[in-house]
Chains A and B, each alone.
Chain A
Amino acid sequence: MFSQIFILSPRGDTIINRDFRSDLPKSTPETFFRQAKTYSGDANPLFTVDCIQFAHIKRGGLYIVGTSRFNLQPAMSLELLDRLAKEIKDFCGVINEEVLRKNFILIYEILDESFDFGYPQLMATEQIKPLIVNDPIQPQPDSVMNSLRPKIQTFNIFVPNTIGSQAVQRSVLNKNQANEIFVDIYEKLNVLFNSSAYVINQSIEGCIQMTSFLQGNPPLKLALNDDLQIGRQQGQYSAGVILDDCNFHECVNANELDMNKTLRIQPPDGQFVVMNYRISGDYAAPFRLFPIIEEISSSKIEVTIKLKACFDAKIIASYATIRIPIPKQTANAYTELVKNAQQETAEYDSNKKMVEWQIKKLNGGQERSLKIKLTLQATQTAHTARKEIGPIAMNFEIPMFNVSRLQIKYLRIEERGNTTNPHRWVRYITQSSSYVCRI
């Protein structure tokens, strides 16, 4: 595993340097920095110089580097560095050069608990907290709030841009706050249509995420749909919700999931991903796109795109953006929205050769359309140019809606003798991951 771990400033000065195995030359930080500077952009996360592996991540402008001369696992080594950065952040509040220089003793302590002989040991903030004796030294007063932020999992935490959550802005340290818990169900959609709006490929990547401010971290019981089924049999049809696969946070006991569709959770403080899931089966795509291309003359093309929102009228999608690449030989493009279009814009970007159509709000059941009139340069005919139109890519977010119909039936706090009933908030959010229509 790792032979050394060091942290370098953006100028290449060593801030932290811990040698676990003494099997590599002392000059590795310089070797690393020289090599990292040869890249035009960011350096590759992993590279090899003279049989020495350098894995690194960049946080707050600093390089956090692990070296090894073993055949290490790339995914794991990057994950380890990332966890280390999270730990440092949990203790110090922020990661930047000043804070690290002030707290270097503390960071050596963290490093010694997290790694021994280069092997990862305890790497969760909560686990090592009792073993650390140094207190963080704060450069600015306001980061005290953040100083003992709970452990935040490395796994993709979704950040929605539609509904603001109070959960995100609050510190766990504040004792007077309400006793409550937030549960979010996020789904990211991948859909690929062909030109006649027929679905070629579709999948959902979803997760259940919790932000807990419960006092005393009581055990929870989370119940999901009764018709939930995990694992898909070939050619099987079922009316229920079928997850192709799912995985769970360490604090989740999923033994009862098959039997009565419940998860037992021992929640840590703050934000964590309870469960990730993946669905590949058919589902009703929330939007349908109908592109029509007409060759008006040999130098003129007209593209009409119809958009239909196929969900309940009570639900409102927001920030829908549709991007349509148009031929490189385009001389000019005019966009035409329907009359009286509200909260809707369409713009042609002549540098990127792209038309961007934005719709701020779209109720379910509604239809919108856009007409693009293209004039081509003389060098290309409409017949060959039309092939360069597309594929159309769409981005959107739909709050309080999920495609999979996975639902939280109830969330029970299993602590006896507690009279207060904490607030429980549930949100559903659907986002596009790759929503593409080929032409």
Chain B
Amino acid sequence: MAYFGNNPQRGELQELYADLNDLNFEKKKEAVKKVIAYMTVGKDVSDLFQSVIKCLEFNDIEMKKLIYLYIVNYSRQKPDDAIMVIQNFRKDVRKSENPLVRALAIRTFGCLRVPKLNEYLIEPLKDCIQDDDPYVRKTAVLCVPKVYEVSPEICPALLELLQKLLEKESNALVLANLIQSMREIEVVSGKQLINLNQKIIQKLLLAVDECIEWGQIFILDYLATYNPQDSKQAEIIIERTLPRLSHINPTVTFCAVKVILKYLDFLDNGELVKNLCKKVAPSLISLLSWNQPEVQYTILRNISLILQKFPILFENDVKVFFCSINEPYYIKYEKLDIMVRICDSKNFGQVLNELLIYLNEADPHFVRKTIKSIGKIAITYDKALDKAVSILVELAKNIQQPTEPVQELLIQMQLIYKKNKQMYKHDESLKIIYSIVDYANEPESKSACAWILGEFGEFIPKSVEKMKEYVDNFQMEDRLVQLQLLTSAVQLYLKYPSQCATLIQQLITSAKDSFNPDVRDRTYIYWRLLSTDPEVVKNLVCFNSGTFSNFSKDLRLWETQDLVVALENMGSISNLFHKLPHQLYKNIKIKINNQQNVKIYKGEEKPDTQAQDQQDENNQNNKKELQQQSQQQQLQDVDLLNFDEPSNNNNNNNNNNNNNNNNNNNNNNNNNNNKTDLFELI
């Protein structure tokens, strides 16, 4: 026994020892309580094991509870002593009239987690699973996974018993625990345990109605993993789940939504699907209005996931996602994101008008996000392009300071120009945007300016002078800006060979010795090319054909096969980070589903999205043709497209994810006071 440190002083232990062995019952009880108190604060009182379990001889339930608490904590340290308790447990389970005592004994027994004790447990546990009292059964059922985790080899008989119980059990709470414990064993063992048939499903559905809320969550959550056999079955399950949509507990409601959305895939009746969508949407919206902001945040994060598969859900409800003045910023950001996702040919005007108002808000970071959203809408929805651009240009007219929103404005305008190069060549907007390039002070926005300068040099007054300014400061710029400047300067040189000759010379001299290999290599490539044949460079750098098709993909949160997994984990913490469970946890393995087709539920008559799909397809075809001619061009495309994303991201699973991370990081950096991310991943 140690004399120092965390352990109680020898004197204290001896005193307790004396009290535990006292003949007076009350004194014993007090002593046990003291022991538990020491245990709670982390002091080692395992030496008293023998004396404590001696007190079990009293048939007092309060005393029993105390001692069991002690045993659970120390059984693994003293397995040999714990064997002595076994007889007591067995006696309690077999002989006690009181169901509370039986349940208490079996619960504690399950928590011992000592392999060699478990074989003694099997028989009493079997008895308890078949007990007459539901309280005992519900406890016993949850004991099985506890035992399975420690010694799976002795469990087959128990598992059979569970399966039998599933057939005949009628108590809702026991059923809920049964489902939960069997699921857990399924995950640990990898074998299928629950064989659902029509009868069991009926019973589960009945149990949902009778169960306490947590049990409802277990059962609904399980039903959401089941694949119904046919449309009829799916319809029945959905019908029985519908009343849960109006439960006051948000998690129950959300689980019901999950079940219904999952089963929609199996319905043949299109009309029914539409009606169901109309029922689900209001419930989701209600979840946003009755709950604390934390819960709202989780719901919003999940809605953006749901929207990828079910754009139909909120077709007419975009107003719900308008930000209100007194919401925390993390809610506002999610709402912005969702507004962009819901935006379509019918409501883009409404959305843009709302975003226009947000531009007057005081918080620069929120304004920046708004500008980004407007840019996204302009790039994704062709019909909205004109209106979105006019809003941004109008904003540019009033700019007098290099604020944060200005940077985003330049970045978004560059992306818009990049997608619609031909349309804006002679446009008035170009001059207005050009008038604010001096306010660029972030690498991303500066390189956007450099890009505009290179691409539209011939339409901009004094473009060469401006480029000269940039080249003079070349050494001070970020790598991102340097790379873009190289390309843009070459483009400008090809447009004004005589005026830019010295400029390009100066640029090459200062860039060729750069410490950065990318910058150096690009310099050398252009240098060689320019000194051999400027015509080749022209083909390489000034390409006007082909638009970019992969802009619209940006809105997709998940790749198709990941979407299935993500939807299965709806509501869980991994979705909060917009990740898959196995990306977040090392201990979770998932079956990667290679399902390539996910049914997307769109609203009716949206010719324009279809048209766009078609356009995308055409573009892709075009691209394929172009591919062979212009491998280098392609490389550059990629470079240009990705340059607003950080390259230091390890997670290359999909670009969209990167984008999200990027946003989150920005939030954290720029807005510490506002606590933008409620739930943080460390």
Binding site for B on A (CB under 8 A): 13-17, 19-20, 22, 26, 35, 40-41, 44-49, 51, 53, 69, 71-76, 78-79, 104-105, 108-109, 112, 116-117, 119-124, 127, 131, 133-134, 153, 155-156, 190, 192, 201, 203, 205, 231-232, 234, 244-250, 254, 273, 276, 278, 280, 384, 387-388, 391, 393, 434, 436, 438
- B236: interface (CB < 8 Å): no
Contacts of A254 in B (CB 8 A): 246
When each residue 259-302 of chain B gets 1 if its CB lies under 8 Å from chain A and 0 otherwise, what string results? 00000000000000000000100110110011110110011000
Contacts of A205 in B (CB 8 A): 289-290
A131 touches B100 (CB 8 A): yes
Pick from B100, B214, B283, B290: contact of A123, CB under 8 Å: B214
Q: CA–CA, A280 to B314, complex, Å?
A: 14
B65 touches A74 (CB 8 A): no
- B571: interface (CB < 8 Å): yes
Contacts of B299 in A (CB 8 A): 75
A245 touches B246 (CB 8 A): yes
Name the CB-closest residue of A to B143: A117
When each residue 238-274 of chain B gets 1 if its CB lies under 8 Å from chain A and 0 otherwise, what string results? 0000000111111101100000000000000000000
- B161: interface (CB < 8 Å): no
A72 touches B675 (CB 8 A): no
Binding site for A on B (CB under 8 A): 33, 36-37, 40-42, 61-62, 65-66, 69, 73, 76, 100, 107, 110-111, 113, 138-139, 142, 145-146, 173, 177, 180-181, 212-214, 217-218, 245-251, 253-254, 279, 282-283, 285-286, 289-292, 294-295, 298-299, 316, 319-320, 322, 324-326, 357, 360, 398, 569, 571-574, 576, 581, 584-588, 672, 675, 677-682
Number of A-B residue pairs, CB cutoff 8 Å, is 192
* Given A51-B587, A244-B282: A119 touches B177 (CB 8 Å cut-off): yes
B678 touches A192 (CB 8 A): no
Pick from B41, B145, B290: contact of A276, CB under 8 Å: B290
Enumerate 21 A-B pairs (CB-CB under 8 Å) in ascending A order.
Answer: A41-B675, A46-B680, A48-B573, A71-B574, A71-B588, A76-B217, A76-B571, A78-B294, A79-B251, A104-B40, A117-B145, A121-B138, A133-B62, A134-B62, A156-B292, A205-B289, A247-B245, A247-B246, A250-B212, A278-B285, A388-B360
Shortest distance from the beta carbon of B397 to any chain A beta carbon, whole Å? 12
**For chain B, what secondary structure do more than half of its interface residues adopt (helix, strand, loop), or is it mixed?**
helix
Contacts of B36 in A (CB 8 A): 104-105, 108
A47 touches B581 (CB 8 A): no
Name the CB-closest residue of A to B357: A438
Contacts of B61 in A (CB 8 A): 133
B40 touches A17 (CB 8 A): yes
Q: CA–CA, A120 to B211, complex, Å?
A: 13
Name the CB-closest residue of A to B279: A231
B289 touches A278 (CB 8 A): yes
Name the CB-closest residue of B to A76: B251
Shortest distance from the beta carbon of B395 to any chain A beta carbon, whole Å? 12
A79 touches B250 (CB 8 A): yes
Interface-centre pick from A40, A78, A112 (highest chain B CB count, 10 A):
A112
Pick from A14, A75, A133, A234: contact of B65, CB under 8 Å: A133
B40 touches A249 (CB 8 A): no
B678 touches A45 (CB 8 A): yes
* Given A117-B145, A133-B61, A276-B286: A391 touches B246 (CB 8 Å cut-off): no
Pick from A15, A47, A69, A231: contact of B585, CB under 8 Å: A69
Given contacts A51-B585, A278-B289, A434-B324, 8 further A-B contacts (CB under 8 A): A44-B680, A51-B586, A71-B588, A75-B250, A116-B107, A156-B292, A276-B248, A276-B290
Contacts of B672 in A (CB 8 A): 40
Pick from A46, A104, A108, A248: contact of B248, CB under 8 Å: A248
A248 touches B680 (CB 8 A): no
Q: CA–CA, A162 to B82, complex, Å?
A: 62
Shortest distance from the beta carbon of A328 to any chain B beta carbon, whole Å? 8
Name the CB-closest residue of A to B294: A45
Pick from B316, B360, B572, B588: contact of A387, CB under 8 Å: B360
B248 touches A249 (CB 8 A): yes
Contacts of A41 in B (CB 8 A): 675
Contacts of B588 in A (CB 8 A): 71
Contacts of B146 in A (CB 8 A): 117
Shortest distance from the beta carbon of B417 to any chain A beta carbon, whole Å? 28
Q: CA–CA, A41 to B328, complex, Å?
A: 15
B248 touches A250 (CB 8 A): yes
Contacts of A134 in B (CB 8 A): 62
Contacts of B69 in A (CB 8 A): 108
B42 touches A119 (CB 8 A): no
Q: CA–CA, A109 to B292, complex, Å?
A: 29
Name the CB-closest residue of A to B214: A120
A73 touches B142 (CB 8 A): no
B326 touches A72 (CB 8 A): no
A74 touches B250 (CB 8 A): no
Q: CA–CA, A124 to B360, complex, Å?
A: 48
Contacts of A53 in B (CB 8 A): 573
Contacts of A124 in B (CB 8 A): 212
A14 touches B325 (CB 8 A): no
Interface-centre pick from A40, A278, A434 (highest chain B CB count, 10 A):
A278
Contacts of A247 in B (CB 8 A): 245-248, 253, 286, 290
Name the CB-closest residue of B to A124: B212
Pick from A40, A72, A78, A153: contact of B572, CB under 8 Å: A72
Contacts of A116 in B (CB 8 A): 107, 139, 142, 177
Contacts of B675 in A (CB 8 A): 41, 44
Q: CA–CA, A438 to B42, complex, Å?
A: 58
Name the CB-closest residue of A to B572: A71
* Given A104-B40, A105-B33, A116-B107: A192 touches B248 (CB 8 Å cut-off): no
